[in-house]
Amino acid sequence: MTYDYLVISTSLNADSKSRLMAKVVFDELAKRERVKFIDLMDYPLPVCDGNACYADSNVKELTELISNARCVLMAAPVYNFYLSAAAKNLIELTGRAWTDKLVGFLCAAGGKSSYMSVMNVANSLMLDFRCLIIPRFVYADGASFQADRISDTDLQRRIVELADAARRLIVATGPMAVS
């Protein structure tokens, strides 16, 4: 099945803050759009070895889901000033499925200093797979959350703005060939 939007939560932590952000953007898009939510906790993946890993059934399924989406919104935790290894591993495993996609990011980190963490991955997606990166990243630190909810109304507003930017870019780019 083809989706306009695929929201992927890449955190492997049951108490993930980025997953909370992913659910908010999913709920916002689901009001009027064809959208699917993927949680990597439900798709155990092998570590990319450049060989046998591509035969894994979860890798095949995720590759197909990404291929059949126009826009991918990736929610990822930031560890040590970089997107999580699980997020990077997903991209390595699914590679060309990302070709010509609109891509947006929602990142959660422990502190304010990692807000540029997504740039290496964004640049790689642009250069390797000709992705169009939505120029509205959502970044939040721990102060935006209380227990299992987003407590910062500004963060909620920024997530809705990302969803709106994705909608506008899908319209502006017109029909895209599905990889």
73 touches 6 (CB < 8 A): yes
pLDDT at position 178 over 50 = no
pTM score, two decimals? 0.94
Q: What is the pLDDT of residues 34-93, one digit of tens each?
A: 999 999 999 999 999 999 999 999 999 999 999 999 999 999 999 988 899 999 999 999
DSSP 3-state assignment of 16?
coil
5 touches 65 (CB < 8 A): no
| Stretch 2-16: mean pLDDT | 94
Predicted confidence at residue 39, as pLDDT, reads 98
- DSSP letter at 107 equals E
Q: What is the pLDDT of residues 121-162, one digit of tens each?
A: 999 999 999 999 999 999 999 999 998 999 999 999 999 999
pLDDT band per the 50, 70, 90 thresholds, residue 176: low
The sign of the torsion formed by the CA atoms of 122, 179, 88, 23 equals positive
* CA separation, residue 105 to residues 53, 56, 60 (Å): 25, 26, 23
Contacts of 14 (CB under 8 A, 6+ apart): 41
Q: Which domains does the chain have, with CATH numbers?
A: 3-173 (3.40.50.360)
Predicted confidence at residue 96, as pLDDT, reads 96
DSSP 3-state assignment of 24?
helix
Q: What is the pLDDT of residues 99-110, one digit of tens each?
A: 999 999 999 998
List the helix and strand counts (H, then E) for the chain: 5, 9
